[in-house]
Amino acid sequence: MYEDLVFPQKKQRPFFYTNFVSTIDGKTLVKIDPQGYWPIGSKVDHDVLVELRAHADVLLQGKNTALFYRTLNTLAGEKFRAARRKLGKNAELPYLAMSNSPDDRLITYMDNRGGSRPLLVTTEEAVVSKELADKVRLIRLGKGVVDVELLAAFLHQEGFKNVLVEAGPTLLSTFLEHDLIDEIFLTLAPKIFGNNNNATYTMAEGYLFPPNNIKQCRLLSVKQVGDEVFLRYNILDGAN
């Protein structure tokens, strides 16, 4: 889908991009039965997700996203590793999960079984069991909640240039609020979920941008495959 994908480079922080799939009525997740309504997109959409991962220097997920599926299985696949080598990258994509309150459910999802230890980013006061800490490289940034600006600075110091953010709508809102999303890849799937008693999520939840700071986007590309539309936007913001 994106043969010659190149991202602009930032001087003081990594370039952050995200990938979402949405129904045409704007739904990205159903709270009451997320597995039952998944996948929203087609196999092509999944292939695009994998393609965008191949271009990243680190894959960042929130806890709920990390617990949805053991992503490390996909990252360990030889087809994926070969795609990264073709791009001139290290075959192994570093994996990072972040959570204000990590728990031992993450142990299964972050055991890399012979590969390098994933990063787990949490708060200064979060309680992390020894069993989980032994599986990860534990990074503490911020009090009460993870400080995403400190996280950006940490990733920059680690040498990561392109960061793919696969987060739920609340965490994505936090990144957007702090001007830490540069591009959005959005798949529009030909489905309508509707809504009832706030049972669904849109792409960004938990923060309403004020009228003087609404996120404005510029359309970079449109690609149609069957009944799905693949959109690429960059976010227009002087802080970026």
pLDDT digits (tens, 9 = 90+) for 51-85: 999 999 999 999 999 999 999 999 999 999 999 99
Q: Encode burial over 116-136: b for 16+ CB neighbours within 10 A, e otherwise.
A: eebbbbbbeebebeeebeebb
Distance CA 33, CA 213 (A): 33
3 pLDDT band (50/70/90 cuts)? confident
Average pLDDT, the chain: 94
pLDDT at 47 over 90: yes
CB atoms within 10 A of CB 40: 19
pLDDT digits (tens, 9 = 90+) for 132-169: 999 999 999 999 999 999 999 999 999 999 999 999 99
What is the domain partition of the chain in residue ranges? 15-236
Domain 15-236: CATH class, spelled out: alpha beta
- Helices 43-54, 78-86: axis angle to 10 degrees equals 50
Contact 43, 83 (CB under 8 A): no
C-alpha distances in Å from residue 147, one per residue of 39, 123, 141:
31, 8, 6
Distance CA 36, CA 40 (A): 10
pLDDT at 88 over 60: yes
Q: Side chain identity at 181, as an amino acid letter?
A: I
Give 122's contacts (C-beta < 8 A, 6+ positions apart). 98, 99, 100, 101, 102, 128, 138, 139, 140, 141, 146
C-alpha distances in Å from residue 237, one per residue of 7, 126, 160, 181, 220:
16, 33, 22, 10, 15
Q: What share of the chain is helix, strand, coil (3-state, %, to 5)?
A: 25, 25, 50
| Residue ranges of E strands in 38-169 | 58-62, 95-98, 119-122, 137-140, 162-166
Distance CA 105, CA 107 (A): 6
Element (H, E) at 17: strand 15-23
